[in-house]
Amino acid sequence: MINKNRIVKNFLDLTLIDGIHGKESEVAGNLIHRLKKLGLTVSMDQAGKSFGGDTGNLIAKLPGNSDYPPIFLCAHMDTILPTKNLVHIIKDDVIYSDGNTILGGDNRAGIAVVLEIVETIIENEIPHGNLEVLFTVCEEAGMHGAKSLDINNLESRLGLVFDSQASPGSYIIEAPGAVSFNIEVKGKSAHAAVSPEKGIHAIQIASKAISNLKLGRWAETGMLNIGIIEGGKAINVIPDFVKITGETRNANKDELNYQKDYIKLIFEEAAKEFGGSVQITFSEKYDGYQFDENAPFFEPIRKGIADAGFIPTPIKYPGGSDANVLNNKGLTAVNLGVGFKNAHSFNEHISIENLVSAANIGLNIVKNYYNGKS
């Protein structure tokens, strides 16, 4: 039932609208027009005010049979980088940019998929309960739209999120929480040639600590990374200060806390060895989640994927999304593979087949959910 030409056109049109995180007002205006034209009632919350953005989350509702359970479909409106002056190139049924901008598949592909599901349901008069559409803002900068969402504005307590590079047929059962950290290493300055023994080398402390860290992958979805190092004033001065910025992730809260303690211990030991000191600040970005694969809400999801001709594939995914925030707000949000590739880069692309397949899978899941198979 999915209209291939329509979903491709909608995707191409949506990616031409420039709207990075915090500046999604033009995207929101376009979507309000589209959703109202389809007959949905649309409201906007005040999420943008909480982080200095120019618009809020959109919640649209398509009334249905109240005997069926409600469900929401979610995607985010912002892109990580601008798509201004985007030029599309379609080669072998794969959509690219010309390499001068990102494509914006993350997450305009998700929006196009949601719109296609809704329009297909309407034009084919597919029986449904109350269907809700949630288009969030500022996902790329920390899921701020989802964090500001009042879930009481939604009737649904279960929904589908279309925001993963995983291939269609995949559904995420685990995703990590993330914590960023700032570490200030303090030493003592001295003339590097005349009296180096009077100094305490902050860079040496930092390098010793970093060399002792287990950087990279932790378990299946966890990680630890040092991303930024700043310090030093001149080549003939023992540096007395270094600032280090990094991030650690884990789906398991206890393991994430262990990783924080581990980072603190390694840096404190290095500082003690050389006579310096460290100050560490951790900032919670978002929590992780882990689903029970046997949970009953997965039944219509697996069946919907199979009905679309794919093998249902549960995966543990190392990236975060609005699903992290929504799940930790008490909703059940299952993130599905859409299949855009190389997100956040100028080589981002998506095949037309994946775009159509993601919509077909979503439609079949909705149909199964409304057939009482939840």
Largest CA-CA distance found in the chain, in angstroms, rounded: 84
Tell me what pLDDT residue 364 has: 96
Catalytic residue among 116, 119, 132, 139: 139
Place domain 4-175+288-373 in its CATH homologous superfamily: Zn peptidases (3.40.630.10)
Report the side by side order of strands in the sheet with 349-351: 88-91, 94-97, 349-351
Listed residue (169, 259, 265) closest to 217, CA to CA: 259
Q: Which residues of the chain carry a pLDDT beneath 70?
A: 372-374
Q: What is the pLDDT of residue 373?
A: 41
Segments making up each domain of the chain, as ranges: 4-175+288-373, 177-286
Count CB atoms within 10 A of the CB of residue 41.
11
Q: Reply yes or no on whether 174 is catalytic.
A: no
User: What confidence score (pLDDT) does residue 273 get?
Assistant: 97
Contact at 8 Å (CB) between 17 and 30? yes
Q: pLDDT tens digits for 179-232?
A: 999 999 999 999 999 999 999 999 999 999 999 999 999 989 999 999 999 999
Catalytic annotation present for 348: no
The 10s digit of each residue's pLDDT in 323-346 is 999 999 999 999 999 999 999 999
Give the pLDDT of residue 68. 86
Pick the catalytic residue from 78, 106, 174, 348.
78
CA pair distance 279, 133, nearest whole angstrom: 44
How far is it, in rounded angstroms, from Cα 120 to Cα 122? 5
- What is the pLDDT at residue 1? 87
- Let me know: does 48 contact 146? Beta carbons within 8 Å: no
CATH pick for 177-286 out of 3.40.50.1370, 3.30.70.360, 1.25.40.10, 3.60.10.10: 3.30.70.360
